[in-house]
Amino acid sequence: MFNAFVRLSKAEGAMAQRAIEKGVGLDRAQVSRTELSQMVADFTAKKGVRRFDQGESGSYDGVQSFLLSRGYELRRRVHKFELKKVGTGGRAKSMDWDSVLDFVDQLRVSEGREPLRRAA
């Protein structure tokens, strides 16, 4: 029976076989699990673990819903973003994405939450 969603290609299989025969990718340094575990432990000890509630995100949609739940309206305008209080008249403040994240981080820190961006 023919399945239109399955694509079989002899060319891809042949390319993979040639790559294996030539040893492509075998020159990469192997990292053992213990070394990787030690690297993770070192990073955690140095920088700490950041905690976020489930569903929190630094994406545009996540930031927009976070701000809306706190009474702010965020919109995209060409290559900038506009931010204003919900229900207020007048022109919204135009800013770039870094400024939006700075504002969100100020709100999050004032609420005792982890900021989206890590301090440098």
Cross-strand bridge partners of residue 85? 72
What pTM was estimated for this model as a whole? 0.61
What's the chain's average pLDDT?
82
Residue 11: HSE in the Cβ half-sphere, 13 Å Cα cutoff: 1
**Residue located via tokens 């673990």:** 49
**CB within 8 A of 92, min separation 6: which ones?**
73, 75, 82, 83, 84
82, 93 Cβ separation under 8 angstroms: yes
Cα 33 to its chain centre, rounded Å, is: 25
Domain boundaries of the chain, sorted by first residue:
60-110
Q: Which of 14-28, 45-59, 71-85 has the highest mean pLDDT?
A: 71-85
